[in-house]
């Protein structure tokens, strides 16, 4: 293996580079503790990126590590944990489905959010894909992720003194991340080509190891490509149509070809969102090349394809003009003959002039296993794409597999220790069993409260550190230092709204009646406070204006420093927020939130959800595990805002301040415990990925085997 800049280590810690190169460290607590211990300032300086840290570490720290018994014990445990996640023989999958020989699933996603040191994600979809890959690894499911290596994929958000978002694009230094170039059998970089328009695009590939899971990241920045094609995979989701379709051709078509070039033949093809729908075309083409009829090829492709749709917002479904598709796919039609019209028709969606080549329609028609990401989203999807199924199916065409979050990634360390103590050893393997979590009730309120306060304190010092750094090195002004959250107070309830700034999420809702909000936040006896965080898409002007408006209020003296804006929301910031806030606020316009996952991350950390009945919340809310903003059917912004204020004034804030003789808010902690007890088992990624396996991967594979056997009968 090629460890690039990392030096050789003494034999006793000879596998340290390997541990840094396997992203299971992103949730393995022993590995992280080992790196932290090795050189804490450097660990912080390198933003918790062990790979970068090891390429910079001083000789004397290496010598220390190779001799220190405490470090060596951690090191041995970290190596053992990694080996166990790689081998996967004792896993859930091996125990239950070990008979499915040669099984693997390819999971196509335009983004993967595994850790902030590998910035190849934009938001919720990527984090979900990352959590899916991690849970698949924990369960021992042979999963191969296919995505993009975006060298310029990521922007850092800065807010100027007028509140305007400034995007700083950072070029990813490949030598600083745990990725390796994949080589072909001849020792040169493995590359494939795909026809695009009248030319070809070359695609190379990088490998990321996550235990028994592999991610393959496609990269068009190779010398054979024209300058504009080299940039194709440099950024996430370009908005210009032709470039975007080119990207999706690369993901779908080159993705399949890379797998073939590496000798990988997955049984199940899982398309995470429509961006990868052209996988269906490429597999049909492969079969046609082998003489298969289109009808039979389509049947085969369908029976092995799973498609997960992620948004009820129609602009979120990629659709292209037919002439553009026709032109960019011209390389395919050469051999397609009359199949061309049939293929194009597979993706056709809309009426009359609005008929387009719709990636979601293609995926819906090309996949037998189709799911939405919450129950409500399933119903919305069925209505939204109703014409696709009219009459063709008796059964429900779309299932619900509600998203979940990877607990090992999102839970705060002190809470894990509490769970270790009160849920019992091995609870991680049983985290999706609801009965296990009844034991949460046995945690003494005082202990839980102590941990909750410590986590909030941790968030507040993180915020102060960042504010100090912005003030000293970036010379922001004093109002901005206040807006960054330096006046936030440990004793007042802290509401957090952290999500993408986009209109349907209504970040401005709580400002509907500014005077009422100011009264509520500045109450002399029972004040409250709010943190906002989130990026606006660089092209989303209304989103940037809402952000600016909120940032200005954070600087406004009438809110007395009780509103803060934390810039540059990413996985790192998200960890502090979901662990350290008191309440997680979610107020989108129904039914536009397909699921939402940040509220789950918060809830399992004992940060109850305060939300409208959208996404996952209708199936999770029990009346006692959080709060429901319910202004009745057809409510407008004013009614929703009024319901939100009412809940805060009458229930949320009073419960927080209602202390018993030991200063502990028992009524509050009852909600906290109920939130953890009911949400952790049902909304963990382990439950989600098991459900994908049991509803789709396994039955589809078994049917394939059964058909295969029948096929050989005379």
Residues 650 and 632: their CA atoms lie apart, in Å, by: 18
Stretch that binds ligand PLP, among 81-89, 267-275, 284-292, 596-604 (CB under 6 A): 596-604
The reply to whether 139 sits near ligand PLP by the rule CB under 6 A is no
**Shortest distance (Å) from residue 711 CB to ligand PLP:** 43
**Shortest distance (Å) from residue 153 CB to ligand PLP:** 14
Residues 145 and 250: their CA atoms lie apart, in Å, by: 15
**Shortest distance (Å) from residue 571 CB to ligand PLP:** 5
Q: With beta carbons less than 8 A apart as the criterion, state whether 124 and 537 touch.
A: no
CA 279, chain centre distance (Å): 22
Nearer to ligand PLP, 212 or 581 (CB): 581
**Span 149-178, contacts to ligand PLP by CB under 6 A:** none
**Span 357-396, contacts to ligand PLP by CB under 6 A:** none
Which of 490, 553, 559 minimizes the C-alpha distance to 523? 559
- Choose, by CB under 6 A, the member of 220, 598, 605, 678 that binds ligand PLP: 598
Nearer to ligand PLP, 312 or 665 (CB): 312
What's the burial of 11, exposed, middle or buried (CB within 10 Å: 0-12/13-18/19+)?
exposed
- The H or E element spanning position 196 is strand 191-196
Report CA-CA distances (Å) from 264 to 178, 239, 289, 321, 674: 22, 32, 19, 33, 45
**Shortest distance (Å) from residue 156 CB to ligand PLP:** 13
- Choose, by CB under 6 A, the member of 147, 312, 561, 596 that binds ligand PLP: 596
Nearer to ligand PLP, 123 or 591 (CB): 123
**Shortest distance (Å) from residue 611 CB to ligand PLP:** 10
**Shortest distance (Å) from residue 593 CB to ligand PLP:** 7
DSSP, collapsed to helix, strand or coil, labels residue 338 as coil
DSSP, collapsed to helix, strand or coil, labels residue 566 as strand
Stretch that binds ligand PLP, among 3-11, 103-111, 434-442, 598-606 (CB under 6 A): 598-606
**Shortest distance (Å) from residue 157 CB to ligand PLP:** 12
Nearer to ligand PLP, 310 or 456 (CB): 310
Instruction: Read off the DSSP letter of residue 264.
Output: -
Nearer to ligand PLP, 179 or 498 (CB): 498
Nearer to ligand PLP, 207 or 235 (CB): 235
Nearer to ligand PLP, 571 or 648 (CB): 571
- Choose, by CB under 6 A, the member of 115, 132, 499, 562 that binds ligand PLP: 499
Nearer to ligand PLP, 360 or 374 (CB): 374
**Which residue(s) pair with 202 in the sheet?**
193
C-beta neighbour count of 72 within 10 angstroms: 15
Residues 281 and 248: their CA atoms lie apart, in Å, by: 12
**Shortest distance (Å) from residue 410 CB to ligand PLP:** 8
Nearer to ligand PLP, 216 or 585 (CB): 585
Nearer to ligand PLP, 153 or 266 (CB): 153
Task: Please tell me the total number of residues recorded for the chain in this structure.
Answer: 714
- The pattern of x and - marking residues 512 through 551 that bind ligand PLP according to CB under 6 A reads ----------------------------------------
Nearer to ligand PLP, 577 or 655 (CB): 577
Residues 444 and 450: their CA atoms lie apart, in Å, by: 10
**Shortest distance (Å) from residue 574 CB to ligand PLP:** 4
Who's near 631: CB < 8 A, 6+ residues apart? 639, 640, 642, 643
**Span 13-42, contacts to ligand PLP by CB under 6 A:** none
Q: With beta carbons less than 8 A apart as the criterion, state whether 178 and 118 touch.
A: yes
DSSP, collapsed to helix, strand or coil, labels residue 168 as strand
Residues 170 and 192: their CA atoms lie apart, in Å, by: 27
**Span 551-590, contacts to ligand PLP by CB under 6 A:** 569-571, 574
Q: With beta carbons less than 8 A apart as the criterion, state whether 56 and 46 touch.
A: yes
Task: Supply 197's token pair.
Answer: 């328009």
Nearer to ligand PLP, 252 or 507 (CB): 507
Residues 15 and 496: their CA atoms lie apart, in Å, by: 41
**Span 114-133, contacts to ligand PLP by CB under 6 A:** 123-124, 127
- The H or E element spanning position 468 is helix 445-473
356-358/348-349 β-pairing: antiparallel
- The pattern of x and - marking residues 452 through 491 that bind ligand PLP according to CB under 6 A reads ----------------------------------------
Residues 577 and 531: their CA atoms lie apart, in Å, by: 9
- Choose, by CB under 6 A, the member of 214, 597, 611, 678 that binds ligand PLP: 597
Number of residues engaging ligand PLP in binding (CB under 6 A): 13
Which chain residues interact with ligand PLP by CB under 6 A?
A: 123-124, 127, 499, 569-571, 574, 596-599, 601
């Amino acid at each position: 293996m090629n460890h690039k800049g990392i030096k050789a280590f003494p034999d006793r810690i000879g596998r340290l580079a390997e541990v840094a190169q396997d992203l299971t460290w992103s949730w393995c607590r022993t590995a992280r503790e080992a790196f932290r211990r090795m050189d804490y300032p450097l660990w912080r300086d390198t933003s918790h990126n062990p790979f970068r840290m090891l390429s910079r570490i001083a000789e004397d720290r290496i010598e220390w590590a190779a001799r220190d018994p405490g470090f060596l014990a951690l090191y041995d445990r970290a190596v053992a944990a990694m080996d166990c996640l790689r081998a996967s023989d004792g896993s859930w999958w091996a125990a239950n489905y070990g008979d499915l020989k040669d099984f693997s699933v390819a999971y196509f996603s335009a983004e993967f959010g595994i850790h902030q040191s590998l910035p190849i994600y934009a938001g919720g979809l990527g984090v979900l894909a990352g959590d899916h890959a991690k849970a698949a690894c924990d369960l021992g499911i042979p999963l191969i992720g296919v995505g993009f290596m975006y060298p310029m994929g990521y922007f850092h958000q800065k807010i100027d003194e007028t509140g305007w978002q400034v995007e700083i694009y950072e070029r990813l230094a490949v030598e600083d991340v745990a990725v390796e170039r994949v080589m072909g059998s001849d020792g040169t970089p493995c590359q494939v080509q795909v026809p695009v328009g009248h030319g070809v695009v070359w695609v190379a590939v990088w490998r990321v190891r996550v235990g028994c899971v592999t991610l393959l990241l496609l990269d068009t920045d190779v010398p054979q490509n024209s300058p504009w094609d080299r940039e194709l995979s440099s950024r996430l989701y370009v908005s210009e149509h032709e470039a975007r379709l080119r990207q999706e051709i690369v993901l779908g078509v080159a993705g399949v070809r890379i797998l073939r070039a590496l000798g990988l033949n997955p049984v199940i093809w899982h398309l995470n969102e429509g961006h990868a729908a052209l996988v269906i075309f490429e597999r049909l083409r492969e079969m046609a090349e082998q003489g298969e009829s289109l009808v039979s090829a389509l049947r085969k492709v369908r029976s092995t394809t799973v498609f997960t749709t992620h948004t009820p917002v129609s602009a979120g479904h990629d659709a292209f003009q037919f002439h553009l598709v026709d032109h960019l796919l011209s390389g395919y039609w050469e051999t397609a003959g009359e199949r061309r019209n049939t293929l194009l028709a597979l993706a056709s969606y809309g009426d009359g002039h609005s008929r387009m080549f719709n990636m979601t329609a293609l995926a819906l028609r090309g996949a037998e296993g189709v799911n939405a990401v919450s129950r409500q989203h399933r119903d919305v999807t069925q209505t939204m794409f109703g014409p696709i199924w009219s009459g063709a199916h008796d059964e429900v065409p779309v299932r619900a597999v509600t998203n979940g979050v990877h607990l090992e990634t999102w839970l705060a360390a002190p809470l894990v220790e509490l769970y270790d103590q009160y849920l019992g050893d091995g609870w991680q393997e049983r985290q999706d069993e609801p009965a296990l979590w009844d034991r949460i009730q046995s945690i003494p309120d005082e202990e839980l409260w102590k941990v909750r306060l410590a986590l909030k304190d941790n968030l507040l010092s993180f915020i102060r550190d960042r504010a100090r750094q912005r003030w000293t090195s970036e010379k922001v002004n004093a109002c901005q230092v206040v807006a960054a959250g330096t006046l936030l107070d440990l004793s007042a309830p802290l509401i957090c709204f952290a999500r993408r700034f986009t209109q349907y999420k209504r970040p401005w809702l709580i400002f509907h009646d500014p005077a009422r909000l100011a009264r509520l936040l500045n109450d002399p006896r029972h004040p409250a406070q709010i943190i906002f965080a989130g990026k606006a898409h660089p092209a989303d002007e209304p989103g940037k204006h809402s952000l600016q408006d909120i940032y200005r209020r954070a600087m406004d003296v009438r809110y007395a420093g009780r509103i803060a804006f934390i810039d540059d929301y990413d996985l790192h910031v998200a960890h502090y927020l979901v662990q350290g806030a008191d309440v997680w606020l979610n107020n989108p316009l129904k039914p536009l939130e397909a699921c939402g996952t940040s509220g789950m991350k918060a809830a399992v950390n004992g940060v109850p959800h305060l939300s409208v009945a959208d996404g996952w919340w209708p199936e999770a809310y029990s009346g006692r595990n959080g709060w429901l903003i319910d202004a009745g059917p057809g409510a407008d912004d004013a009614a929703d805002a009024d319901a939100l204020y009412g809940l805060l004034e009458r229930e949320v804030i009073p419960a927080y301040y209602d202390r018993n003789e030991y200063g502990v808010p028992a009524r509050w902690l009852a909600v906290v415990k109920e939130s953890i007890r009911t949400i952790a088992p049902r909304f963990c990624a382990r439950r989600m990925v098991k459900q994908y396996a049991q509803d789709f991967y396994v039955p589809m594979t078994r049917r394939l085997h059964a058909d295969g056997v029948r096929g050989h009968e005379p």
